Amino acid sequence: MEIKLKINGINKEVTIKEGEYLQSALKKLGFLNVRKGCETGSCGLCTVLLDGKPTLSCSTLAVRGIGKDITTLEGESVEVAKFAEVLTGEGADQCGYCSPGFTLTVIAMKRELESPTIDEIKHYLTGNLCRCTGYMGQLRAVKKYMEVK
Protein backbone atom coordinates (compact mmCIF):
# COMPACT_ATOMS: atom_id res chain seq x y z
CA MET A 1 0.00 0.00 0.00
CA GLU A 2 1.22 3.48 -0.82
CA ILE A 3 1.13 6.09 1.92
CA LYS A 4 2.12 9.72 2.20
CA LEU A 5 4.32 10.86 5.04
CA LYS A 6 5.52 14.32 5.86
CA ILE A 7 9.08 13.99 7.00
CA ASN A 8 11.16 16.95 8.04
CA GLY A 9 8.65 19.19 6.35
CA ILE A 10 8.78 17.39 3.02
CA ASN A 11 6.06 15.13 1.64
CA LYS A 12 7.20 11.65 0.67
CA GLU A 13 5.51 8.59 -0.66
CA VAL A 14 6.40 5.12 0.39
CA THR A 15 5.05 1.66 -0.30
CA ILE A 16 4.53 -0.34 2.83
CA LYS A 17 3.27 -3.76 3.73
CA GLU A 18 0.39 -4.35 6.02
CA GLY A 19 1.51 -3.94 9.61
CA GLU A 20 4.77 -2.29 8.65
CA TYR A 21 6.34 -0.08 11.26
CA LEU A 22 7.45 3.47 10.85
CA GLN A 23 11.10 2.61 11.49
CA SER A 24 11.18 0.33 8.51
CA ALA A 25 9.32 2.80 6.29
CA LEU A 26 11.78 5.53 7.20
CA LYS A 27 14.71 3.25 6.46
CA LYS A 28 13.25 2.51 3.05
CA LEU A 29 13.12 6.23 2.41
CA GLY A 30 16.82 6.47 3.19
CA PHE A 31 16.70 7.79 6.74
CA LEU A 32 19.44 5.41 7.80
CA ASN A 33 20.11 6.96 11.15
CA VAL A 34 16.69 5.96 12.43
CA ARG A 35 18.29 2.89 13.95
CA LYS A 36 16.95 -0.20 15.56
CA GLY A 37 18.42 -1.80 18.64
CA CYS A 38 15.81 -4.00 20.23
CA GLU A 39 12.59 -4.39 18.21
CA THR A 40 10.66 -4.48 21.49
CA GLY A 41 10.25 -0.83 22.35
CA SER A 42 12.87 -1.01 25.08
CA CYS A 43 15.94 0.84 23.86
CA GLY A 44 14.90 4.17 22.34
CA LEU A 45 17.33 3.96 19.42
CA CYS A 46 14.55 4.29 16.89
CA THR A 47 13.10 7.48 18.40
CA VAL A 48 11.71 10.08 16.00
CA LEU A 49 9.52 13.05 16.77
CA LEU A 50 5.84 12.79 15.89
CA ASP A 51 4.35 16.26 16.11
CA GLY A 52 7.30 17.09 18.31
CA LYS A 53 6.83 14.18 20.71
CA PRO A 54 9.52 11.50 21.02
CA THR A 55 8.04 8.32 19.58
CA LEU A 56 9.44 4.81 19.19
CA SER A 57 9.26 4.22 15.47
CA CYS A 58 9.93 0.48 15.85
CA SER A 59 6.62 0.03 17.56
CA THR A 60 4.53 2.67 15.81
CA LEU A 61 2.71 1.56 12.69
CA ALA A 62 3.78 3.50 9.63
CA VAL A 63 0.16 4.46 8.97
CA ARG A 64 0.14 6.25 12.31
CA GLY A 65 2.54 8.71 10.78
CA ILE A 66 0.03 9.81 8.19
CA GLY A 67 -0.97 13.42 8.69
CA LYS A 68 1.67 14.00 11.35
CA ASP A 69 4.88 15.94 11.31
CA ILE A 70 7.64 13.39 11.42
CA THR A 71 11.05 14.65 12.41
CA THR A 72 14.32 12.75 12.15
CA LEU A 73 17.80 13.94 12.97
CA GLU A 74 18.07 15.66 9.60
CA GLY A 75 15.09 17.83 10.45
CA GLU A 76 16.74 19.26 13.54
CA SER A 77 20.20 19.89 12.18
CA VAL A 78 20.76 23.15 14.05
CA GLU A 79 19.88 21.79 17.47
CA VAL A 80 21.62 18.51 16.72
CA ALA A 81 24.85 20.32 15.94
CA LYS A 82 24.56 22.34 19.15
CA PHE A 83 24.00 19.28 21.25
CA ALA A 84 26.72 17.32 19.45
CA GLU A 85 29.21 20.03 20.39
CA VAL A 86 28.39 19.68 24.07
CA LEU A 87 28.25 15.90 24.04
CA THR A 88 31.62 15.51 22.31
CA GLY A 89 33.00 18.21 24.57
CA GLU A 90 32.24 15.97 27.53
CA GLY A 91 33.73 12.98 25.72
CA ALA A 92 30.34 11.43 26.30
CA ASP A 93 30.08 9.91 22.86
CA GLN A 94 31.31 6.40 22.42
CA CYS A 95 30.06 4.08 19.72
CA GLY A 96 27.43 6.62 18.75
CA TYR A 97 24.85 4.04 17.82
CA CYS A 98 22.39 5.30 20.41
CA SER A 99 23.05 8.94 19.57
CA PRO A 100 20.35 9.80 17.01
CA GLY A 101 17.45 8.56 19.14
CA PHE A 102 18.94 10.00 22.28
CA THR A 103 19.66 13.38 20.70
CA LEU A 104 16.13 13.73 19.37
CA THR A 105 14.71 12.92 22.79
CA VAL A 106 16.95 15.51 24.40
CA ILE A 107 15.85 18.14 21.91
CA ALA A 108 12.20 17.38 22.57
CA MET A 109 12.81 17.49 26.29
CA LYS A 110 14.41 20.91 26.08
CA ARG A 111 11.25 22.22 24.44
CA GLU A 112 8.92 20.43 26.80
CA LEU A 113 10.42 20.85 30.25
CA GLU A 114 11.08 24.14 31.87
CA SER A 115 14.01 24.20 34.28
CA PRO A 116 13.75 20.49 35.07
CA THR A 117 15.40 18.83 38.04
CA ILE A 118 18.05 16.17 37.54
CA ASP A 119 15.49 13.51 38.40
CA GLU A 120 13.06 14.88 35.85
CA ILE A 121 15.77 14.80 33.21
CA LYS A 122 16.71 11.22 34.04
CA HIS A 123 13.10 10.23 34.02
CA TYR A 124 12.43 11.82 30.66
CA LEU A 125 15.40 10.05 29.11
CA THR A 126 15.13 6.73 30.88
CA GLY A 127 13.82 4.90 27.82
CA ASN A 128 16.97 5.74 25.89
CA LEU A 129 19.45 3.02 26.68
CA CYS A 130 23.17 3.35 26.14
CA ARG A 131 25.46 0.43 26.76
CA CYS A 132 28.70 2.35 26.35
CA THR A 133 28.80 5.52 28.36
CA GLY A 134 27.35 4.75 31.77
CA TYR A 135 25.08 7.81 31.36
CA MET A 136 27.05 10.21 33.58
CA GLY A 137 28.72 12.04 30.72
CA GLN A 138 25.45 12.24 28.83
CA LEU A 139 23.88 13.82 31.88
CA ARG A 140 26.69 16.35 32.17
CA ALA A 141 26.18 17.24 28.52
CA VAL A 142 22.41 17.46 28.83
CA LYS A 143 22.75 19.74 31.85
CA LYS A 144 25.00 22.06 29.88
CA TYR A 145 22.73 21.99 26.89
CA MET A 146 19.64 22.67 28.99
CA GLU A 147 21.54 25.21 31.05
CA VAL A 148 20.54 23.41 34.23
CA LYS A 149 22.71 23.77 37.29
Partner 1 sequence: MNYVGEGIKKIDGMGLIKGASSYTEDIALGHNYLTVKLLRSPHAFARIKNIDTTIASKIEGIECILTYKDVTDKRFTLAGQSFPEPSPHDRRILGEFVRYVGDEVAIVAGKDEESVLKAMKLIKVDYEILEPILDFEKAIDHKTIIHTEKPYTSFNYGNEHMRNIAAQDLLVEGDVEEELANSDVVIEHSYHTQSQIHGMMENYIAVTYMDFQDRMNIISSTQIPFHVRRHVSKILDIPRSKIKVIKPRVGGGFGGKQTAPMEIYPALITKVTGKPAKLAYNRKETHTCTTTRHEMKLTVRLGATKDGIINAVDIHGLSNTGAYGEHAWTVFSVVGQKTLPMYRAKARRFYGEVVYTNMTTAGAFRGYGATQGTFALESAVNELAKKLDMDPSLIREKNLVKQGEINPTLNSFVGEKSIELASSTLDECITRGKEMIGWDKKYPMQKISPTKARGIGMAVTMQGSGIHGIDTASATLKLNDDGFYTLLVGVSDMGQGCDTVVAQMAAEILGVPVSKIIVNSTDTDVNPYDPGAYASSGTYVTGNAVIKAANLMVEKIVEGASKILNVPEEDIEFNGESLLLKDGKEISLDEIAYKLVSYKGQNQIMTTGTWGGYTSPPPFIAGFAEVEVDLETGKVEMVDYVAVVDCGTVINPNLARIQVEGGVAQGIGLALFEDIKYDAKGKMISDTFMQYKIPSRCDVGDIRVEFKPSFEPTGPFGAKSIGEVVINTSAPAIADAVANATGVRIRTLPITPEKVLMGIVNAEF
State in angstroms the smallest separation of the CB of 100 from partner 1: 5
State in angstroms the smallest separation of the CB of 67 from partner 1: 25
In the DSSP assignment, the letter for residue 133 is: S
Task: Rule CB under 8 A: say whether 105 interacts with partner 1.
Answer: no
Task: Show the binding pattern over residues 42-61: x = contacts ligand FES (CB under 6 A), - = does not.
Answer: xxxxx---------x-x---
Extended beta strands in 51-130, E state: 53-56, 69-71
In sequence order, what DSSP letters do the residues of 29-78 get, joined into one string? TT-TTS--S-SSS-S-TTEEEETTEEEEGGGSBGGGGTTSEEE-GGGGHH
Which of ligand FES, partner 1, none lies near 61, with the C-beta cut-off 5 to 8 A by kind? none
Residues in the chain: 149
State in angstroms the smallest separation of the CB of 3 from ligand FES: 20
CA dist., res. 132 & res. 96, Å (int): 9
Which residues, numbered 65-124, are part of the site for ligand FES (CB under 6 A)? 94-98
Task: Show the binding pattern over residues 12-41: x = contacts ligand FES (CB under 6 A), - = does not.
Answer: ------------------------xxxx-x
| Contact of 13 with 2, CB cutoff 8 Å | yes
Task: Rule CB under 8 A: say whether 146 interacts with partner 1.
Answer: no
